[in-house]
Amino acid sequence: MDQIKRIGRELKYKGKILDFYEDTMQTPEGHIMKWDYLHHNGAAAVVPVDKDGKIYMVSQYRSGCDKMSLEIPAGCLNSGEDRKTAAARECEEEIGFKCNNIELLLKFYSAFAYCDEYIEIYCATDLVPTKQNLDEDEFLEVQKYELEDLIDMILSGEISDSKTIAAILAYKEKYINRK
């Protein structure tokens, strides 16, 4: 099967975490189209679980939906940083806990129809209290939840962040349902 191919890419805007491009695409029949494309340097996230099985979450304002959002801790990669290291760093920075055990839970593209953001999500256990160290533009509140309460919040639409939904459901399937 013939494929659509990119024949051009023009940077329209360079942002702090996203670069916006206009791609020129050609169909197998020769038609030319313009597509939007967002480049993201990548991210990592973590499902921090305490010894009692409660999950740490962060509540923060998100301008895209203009409201507070309940999410797992997550963030962009630092230059040269691998995703596992970034997930552990985000756990400590956002909720103030170092994780002595961290393992891959799942990985995915957040919105590959128009963006190349690739996220790896880890499960962190054996948490040791340290100190929260937020970035200067981060304002969040840390809360702990029972897994079933988070599932209910997902199903009711109260939690609507895609990485958080995927992470909580994957955590339940991998660590609870398959025990």
Catalytic residue ranges: 136
In angstroms, the Cα distances linking 67 to 73, 91, 167 are: 17, 23, 21
**Pairing of β 43-48 and β 118-129:** parallel
In angstroms, the Cα distances linking 63 to 44, 60, 67, 89, 111 are: 20, 10, 7, 24, 17
Alpha-carbon Rg for the chain, nearest whole angstrom, is 19
Instruction: Report the first-to-last Cα separation within the chain, whole angstroms.
Output: 44
Write the DSSP symbol of residue 78. P
